[in-house]
């Protein structure tokens, strides 16, 4: 397994199951060279055996190293990001829900899901784009959604890239995140406006924006329902004092990017 092959598998799952519109965005922004993917994001619960470490393991085996730690108090999330020695490889942002800080009702539903997981399914890397490892009722999905959109999204979709991210630094036709937003708006896409269409600033060395998530069909015990899936993000990084581009993330901005999957 190589990083290129792993990200190709994640991309194929993402455009077929979670965010079909990403292919159109990709075509709209594509130039002479292949688009550089700045990072992907993965979601999980902090319940054994499903914590951040489990999702990070396949990336660590490919040479990735843990870099930044992040806290999202209001959403009850923590996250880490990982980088590969080859800067052309995408960064990986993995977050987890602090289930013990949630209501007993949410904890009971999550426990019911985790009970269905066979730890042997978490060996290797295929589970990272394998979708759900459990059955879920739409009734339970709705209960989770009232308390935590993050929990309901993860319960419904399981494992796969929540989003891919176009590196705006690479683009020739567009040099500002807002210009990308305007172009996509004109092309019929809805941009996440939570906290403003552009999150971050040159002062914090990172600007980000994203489309609102596609609505995709998901199978529940009661039948299929259309719910928010994945979205596409756009990021512009700025140079630090040493002249190198900032490679981390800004928690206040990421907090608003999470809301791209709000129904």
State pLDDT tens for residues 41-51: 999 999 999 99
Q: What angle do CA 41, 135, 60 make, to 5 degrees?
A: 30
Closest of 137, 101, 91, 111 to residue 246, by C-alpha: 91
Residue 158 tokens, joined: 């399981």
Tally of domains in the chain:
1
Q: Average of pLDDT values for 9-21?
A: 98
Torsion angle of C-alpha atoms 129, 91, 251, 16, degrees rounded to 10: -30
pLDDT at 33: 85
| Range of the structural domain that residue 103 is part of | 3-258
CB of 163 closer than 8 Å to CB of 43:
no
Identify the CATH number of the domain in which residue 164 sits.
3.10.180.50
State pLDDT tens for residues 133-188: 999 999 999 999 999 999 999 999 999 999 999 999 999 999 999 999 999 999 99
Q: Assess if residue 263 is contained within a domain.
A: no
Q: Assess if residue 45 is contained within a domain.
A: yes
CB of 8 closer than 8 Å to CB of 60:
no
Beta bridge partners of 41: 93, 163
Q: Assess if residue 191 is contained within a domain.
A: yes
Residue 220 phi, psi dihedral angles, 5° rounding? -115, 170
Residue 118: band (very low, low, confident or very high) from pLDDT cuts 50, 70, 90: very high
Beta bridge partners of 234: 166, 209
Q: Assess if residue 35 is contained within a domain.
A: yes
Strands 39-45, 91-97: pairing is parallel
Q: Assess if residue 123 is contained within a domain.
A: yes
Q: Assess if residue 92 is contained within a domain.
A: yes
pLDDT at 32: 84
Q: Look at residue 202 and tell me whether its pLDDT is greater than 80.
A: yes
Q: Assess if residue 91 is contained within a domain.
A: yes
């Amino acid at each position: 397994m190589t990083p290129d092959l792993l990200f190709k598998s994640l991309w194929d799952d993402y455009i077929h199951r979670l965010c079909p519109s990403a292919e159109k965005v990709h075509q709209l922004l594509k130039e002479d060279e292949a688009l550089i993917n700045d990072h992907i994001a993965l979601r999980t619960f902090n319940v054994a055996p499903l914590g951040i470490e489990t999702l990070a393991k396949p990336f660590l085996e490919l040479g990735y190293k843990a870099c930044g730690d992040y806290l999202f108090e209001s959403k009850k999330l923590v996250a880490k990001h990982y980088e590969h020695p080859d800067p052309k490889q995408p960064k990986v942002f993995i977050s987890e829900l602090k289930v013990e800080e949630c209501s007993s009702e949410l904890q009971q539903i999550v426990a019911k899901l985790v009970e269905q997981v066979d730890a042997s399914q978490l060996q290797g890397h295929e589970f990272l784009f394998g979708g759900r490892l459990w059955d879920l009722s739409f009734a339970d999905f709705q209960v989770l959604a009232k308390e935590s959109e993050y929990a309901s999204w993860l319960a419904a979709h399981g494992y796969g890239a929540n989003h891919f991210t176009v590196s705006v630094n690479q683009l020739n036709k567009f040099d500002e995140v807002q210009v990308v937003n305007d172009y996509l708006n004109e092309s019929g896409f809805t941009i996440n406006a939570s906290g403003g269409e552009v999150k971050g600033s040159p002062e914090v060395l990172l600007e980000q924006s994203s489309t609102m998530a596609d609505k995709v069909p998901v199978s529940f015990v009661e039948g299929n329902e259309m719910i928010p899936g994945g979205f596409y993000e756009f990021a512009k990084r700025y140079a630090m004092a040493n002249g190198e581009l900032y490679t981390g993330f800004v928690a206040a901005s990421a907090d608003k990017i999470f809301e791209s999957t709000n129904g």
